[in-house]
Structure 1
């Protein structure tokens, strides 16, 4: 997982490539569980590195993109959110969801 820095945010958001941004807060226990799920998926060959964004440091992003809670996985491309996932039910469920965006 790769932490987003303020200076890199606009580059990532405007990318023509599919982006996966995991939004969390440091003291959120559910966020830690969700992160472990995503780290498992990230280690599968052919899957991208997820970007991570600390919601506490990016309040403008949270408001502009109407992120309602954490943890949240945002799928976006060309500065457009395609989907926001708030429920991290299982690794296989998240695997299928993420995989569906890889061939778009």
Structure 2
């Protein structure tokens, strides 16, 4: 199942009200490593991890990119209670991602 895509506007509207752990994968359209990271996260979701994971094209998210100082893609941002708590740039393995998100 593909990761749902979110817009920066939708995310900015949602974050102040967020109460759970969730994750956003920042990507670009032509990034091969981003496609691999997305596939790995799809496998994690298939393993019944109970967390919302969405993707966002960094080219269309300048406010979040600058506010969170995202320096490259792919970047998995783990959010708790509407605030970023971890930035993961190295998608080492499905097992590693599963451990981060469970």
TM bin, normalised by shorter chain, reads 0.7 to 0.9
Q: Report the equivalent of 1:102.
A: none
Tell whether the 8 Å contact from 2:37 to 2:74 is kept in structure 1 after alignment. Answer: yes
Q: Report the equivalent of 1:12.
A: 14
Q: Report the equivalent of 2:83.
A: 80
Q: Report the equivalent of 2:61.
A: 58
> Structure 2: where are the runs of 5+ without partners?
none
SS at match of 2:52: coil
Q: Whole-Å Cα distance in 2 between the matches of residues 18 and 11 of structure 1?
A: 16
TM-score scaled by length of structure 1: 0.86
Residues 13 and 76 of structure 1, relative CA distance in 2, 3 Å threshold: same
Q: Whole-Å Cα distance in 2 between the matches of residues 38 and 17 of structure 1?
A: 18
SS at match of 2:39: helix
Q: Report the equivalent of 1:42.
A: 45
Deviations 1:37-83 (A, max 9, x none): 00100112243231111001111110011111100100112332110
Q: Whole-Å Cα distance in 1 between the matches of residues 63 and 79 of structure 2?
A: 17
Q: Whole-Å Cα distance in 1 between the matches of residues 95 and 49 of structure 2?
A: 16
How far off is 1:26 after superposition?
A: 0.5
Residues 32 and 55 of structure 1, relative CA distance in 2, 3 Å threshold: same
TM-score scaled by length of structure 2: 0.88
